[in-house]
Amino acid sequence: MRRPRADGGSLSVELVAVVPVLLVVTLLCVQGFGAVSAVEATQRAARDAARAASLGQDPVAAARADLPPAAELRRVSTGGGCGDVCVRVDVEVPLGVPGLVTLVRLPLSRTAAMPAG
């Protein structure tokens, strides 16, 4: 007859310890991808707002169209200094579990320039 081994339940204990760590690492990776996506969307919004302003259209509407629904458009400012038409877009993006908890609101600002006309 075989005797039961003393470490027979160690796999269960190790699994209980590892699963939460893997869950936290996965959530952090998802948040990182979300932050990178928000930066790209803000840059695209600034570029499209500058294009709209250079064509005499509404830069705020152009910027808002490129942002994800969770992003809050704080300000769109136009001016000179970086080209014929320069637009700065300021956005706040929530990071956390959508619909459940917001861990932090990430402020983002991007500037783009387009030639007039």
Q: What pLDDT score was predicted for residue 74?
A: 95
pTM of the entire predicted model:
0.77
Exposure of 2 by Cβ count < 10 A (0-12 exposed, 13-18 middle, 19+ buried)?
A: exposed
Q: What pLDDT score was predicted for residue 80?
A: 67
Q: What pLDDT score was predicted for residue 82?
A: 72
Euclidean distance between CA atoms 13 and 64, whole angstroms: 49
Q: What pLDDT score was predicted for residue 7?
A: 61
Ramachandran class of 101: left when φ > 0, alpha when ψ lies in -120 to 50, beta otherwise: beta
Q: What pLDDT score was predicted for residue 103?
A: 82
Mean pLDDT per 10-residue section of the chain, whose length is 117 residues: 62 81 88 89 94 92 91 89 84 84 89 85
